Amino acid sequence: MMNQILIAGFGGQGVLFAGKFLAYKGLIEGKQVSWLPSYGPEMRGGTANCSVIVGDEPIGSPIVNAPNTLIAMNLPSLQKYENAVVPGGLILVDSTLIAEKVSRTDVRVCYVPATKLANDSGFSTLANMILIGKLLKESEDMRFDHTEDALKKVIPARKMNLLDVNLKALETGYNFAE
Amino acid sequence: MSEKVLMKGNEAIAEAAIRAGCRHYFGYPITPQTEVAAYMAKRMPKIGGCFLQAESEIAAINMVYGVAGAGKRVMTSSSSPGISLKSEGLSYLAGSDLPAFVVNVQRGGPGLGGIQPSQSDYFQATKGGGHGDYKMIVLAPASVQEMASLTIKGFDLADKYRMTAMILADGTMGQMMEPVELGDVEVKEYDKSWAVTGTKCRRAHNIVNSLSLVPEELEQLNFARYERYKAVEENEVMYESYLMDDAEICVVAFGISARVSKNAINEARKNGIKVGMIRPITLWPFPKAPLLAAAEHCLTFLSVEMNMGQMIEDIELAIRCKRPVQLVNRVGGMIPSPEQVLQAIEEADKGGKAS
């Protein structure tokens, strides 16, 4: 099983961080992993995305052209990548920021008002981790485990006081019912 | 066994260099290799090393020349346009027979080009770049683990043969993160009795210089250098052979192109196409012998590279044009997709059966 995940949104939404979390979680679970960011003249407010592959086989290309899972955190990202998702794949949409619905009928879609949930819960910058929490719930080959270990690997030491809110954000997404 | 950590390719190069005993880094920032310099800036002051951001690429490579002349392990890193600027220095390093380690995380060109991944500096790295008859050992990693291991290897080869070893990577290899295991490195000692370290009035002066005005002597220096290059060609070729035993089609690719090709080869194998890959790990010395041997049973060769067709010439020479070699490429910062490579494999398969 190869889980090819594409996370896309604005710079500053924590797209790369969310990807790193999934990669580290996979590594801790003994999977093969790769993480590849888009890079360029990008800045806060511009577009950002990252390719994450988690699987049992050695990974060839680290570039995700045909994701099984797309996390779209803004409208341009949904429009750009919706059609790239493989049939039967999963699309997670931050429905606070994206009013449009996914037009495809051959994929599974979860609308999560992640930005609103984050604001209401007092961790306004963690919509990314709410969506990841929902992914852990919906994905067939991921579980809600090793989350704390993985977070400890990706949160810089000087910001470790944010461990608890990250965990809460993951739980908020995991427990969210549409 | 040490723990596996996730690292960017650029960071893995920097950490591996430090473990290989490099305490001198000179550079100038350029995307997509800036993490090498950033890592060195953070680490070098803490371990008694020297990180220096030079005023230009030209200054940086000449600082490398100075430390190499003093017999210490030293490196610089850059991306394509920056390597062009350093090329004069690379020629001087070669002319002075100094060991140095240089990293090129390529981006699209020519000129300032773009900042997305490319492999279009193949000619520059393997055929010269700077002036004069010289070679560099050119290493092409295809994983973050290899970014680390080939860095360590590069320092050893540079010292062993008194020449420049270059990592030829690309933006993808530099930016991607993969698990990497960085154990302790045994830093080998090489004879550096030629180094300019101060005589303390106890020996004759050592002279490190690339100027030689007597043609007879300069000719002999070139002959002697090429004797060493011959030894490199005989002893240091590295390549990976993938599913080649029964292959009728041989893909040749390095770095990120080899990663993409592997996906395509696995897919083609599922459809019963006998295809394999020879992945050069050293681009110079080029794996000529295994390619020539493959030409015995492979009807077609595919050169997958992110340039307008550079390595393809070395493949044709290696197999002495016994078989057709097709170019499969993207340029300008674009990366071939597995589907593009698969399509080329399928066409080669049909063509082979028709003939």
Q: Which of B200, B219, B235 is the last residue of a domain?
A: B235
**Cα B266 to Cα B256: distance, rounded to the nearest angstrom:** 16
With 80 as the cut, is the pLDDT of residue A148 above it? yes
| Nearest-neighbour CA in chain A from B259: distance (Å) | 5
A40·B116 Cβ contact <8 A: yes
Beta strands A69-72 and A2-10 are: parallel
Instruction: Give the model's pLDDT for residue A43.
Output: 63
A60·B266 Cβ contact <8 A: yes
Q: What is the mean pLDDT of chain B?
A: 96
Return the domain boundaries, chain A. Answer: 2-175
CA distances from B235 to B94, B155, B164, B277 (A): 20, 16, 16, 22
Instruction: Give the model's pLDDT for residue A140.
Output: 86
Band (pLDDT 50/70/90 cuts) for residue A40 is: confident
Quick one: which H or E segment has residue A56?
A: none
Looking at the structure, do residues B255 and B135 belong to the same domain, yes or no?
no
Q: For residue range B263-298, list pLDDT tens digits in order.
A: 999 999 999 999 999 999 999 999 999 999 999 999
Burial class (CB in 10 A: 0-12, 13-18, 19+), B81: middle
3-class SS of residue A27: helix
Band (pLDDT 50/70/90 cuts) for residue B138 is: very high
**Which residues span the domain enclosing B85?**
4-188+210-235
Q: pLDDT: is B183 or B159 the higher one?
A: B159
Longest dimension (CA), chain A: 45
Instruction: Give the model's pLDDT for residue A51.
Output: 97
Least CB–CB distance from B32: residue in A20, A39, A153: A39
| Nearest-neighbour CA in chain B from A92: distance (Å) | 24
Instruction: Give the model's pLDDT for residue B353.
Output: 60
Query: What's the rounded mean pLDDT across residues A142-163?
Result: 95
B238: which residues sit within 8 A by CB, 6+ positions away?
A: B139, B280, B281, B282, B287
What percent of chain B has pLDDT above 90?
96
Model pTM? 0.96
Show the CA angle centred on residue B97, arms to residues B95 and B100, nearest 5°: 110
**What is the distance, to the nearest Å, from the Cα of residue B300 to the centroid of all Cα atoms in its chain?**
26
B319: which residues sit within 8 A by CB, 6+ positions away?
A: B291, B292, B294, B295, B301, B325
Q: Which of B174, B201, B235 is the last residue of a domain?
A: B235
With 80 as the cut, is the pLDDT of residue B352 above it? no
Least CB–CB distance from B263: residue in A36, A41, A61: A61
Q: For residue range B81-102, list pLDDT tens digits in order.
A: 999 999 999 999 999 999 999 9
Looking at the structure, do residues B89 and B225 belong to the same domain, yes or no?
yes
**CATH no. for residue B134?**
3.40.50.970
Looking at the structure, do residues B215 and B88 belong to the same domain, yes or no?
yes
Structure tokens at B337: 């997709």
Looking at the structure, do residues B347 and B291 belong to the same domain, yes or no?
yes
Which of B178, B263, B304, B339 to substitute to test the interface with A, most A CBs within 10 Å? B178
Looking at the structure, do residues B156 and B102 belong to the same domain, yes or no?
yes
With 60 as the cut, is the pLDDT of residue B354 above it? no
> Under CATH, what is the fold of the domain A2-175?
Pyruvate-ferredoxin Oxidoreductase; domain 3 (3.40.920)
Structure tokens at B236: 């240091």
Listed as own residue / partner, the contacts of B205-209 with beta carbons closer than 8 Å and 24 or more positions apart are B208/B69, B208/B96, B208/B98, B209/B96
Give the closest residue to B179 by CA, choosing from A62, A65, A176, A160: A62
CA distances from A97 to A77, A101, A131, B315 (A): 11, 12, 13, 52
Looking at the structure, do residues B161 and B115 belong to the same domain, yes or no?
yes
| Count of domains observed in chain B | 2
With 60 as the cut, is the pLDDT of residue B355 above it? no
Do B296 and B272 meet the contact criterion of CB atoms below 8 Å apart?
no
With 60 as the cut, is the pLDDT of residue B232 above it? yes
Looking at the structure, do residues B226 and B93 belong to the same domain, yes or no?
yes
Q: For residue range B5-42, list pLDDT tens digits in order.
A: 999 999 999 999 999 999 999 999 999 999 999 999 99
Band (pLDDT 50/70/90 cuts) for residue A42 is: low
Looking at the structure, do residues B56 and B172 belong to the same domain, yes or no?
yes
Instruction: Give the model's pLDDT for residue B122.
Output: 98
Looking at the structure, do residues B24 and B57 belong to the same domain, yes or no?
yes
Instruction: Give the model's pLDDT for residue B242.
Output: 98
**CATH no. for residue B330?**
3.40.50.920
Band (pLDDT 50/70/90 cuts) for residue B351 is: confident
Q: For residue range B149-173, list pLDDT tens digits in order.
A: 999 999 999 999 999 999 999 999 9
Structure tokens at B181: 């295991």
Least CB–CB distance from B179: residue in A27, A62, A63: A27
In a domain, B199, yes or no: no
Q: Which residues of B touch A40 (CB under 8 A)?
A: 115-116
Residues of A with a Cβ under 8 Å from any B Cβ are: 20, 23-24, 27, 33-37, 39-41, 59-63, 65, 153
Q: For residue range A87-113, list pLDDT tens digits in order.
A: 999 999 999 999 999 999 999 999 999
Looking at the structure, do residues B176 and B318 belong to the same domain, yes or no?
no
B4: contact with A, CB 8 A cutoff: yes
Question: In A36-126, which ranges are continuous DSSP H helix?
Answer: 75-81, 114-121
Instruction: Give the model's pLDDT for residue A11.
Output: 87
Q: For residue range B109-132, list pLDDT tens digits in order.
A: 999 999 999 999 999 999 988 999
Looking at the structure, do residues B276 and B133 belong to the same domain, yes or no?
no
| Nearest-neighbour CA in chain A from B115: distance (Å) | 7
Which of A5, A39, A54, A155 to substitute to test the interface with B, most B CBs within 10 Å? A39
| Nearest-neighbour CA in chain B from A44: distance (Å) | 18
In a domain, B204, yes or no: no
Looking at the structure, do residues B82 and B226 belong to the same domain, yes or no?
yes
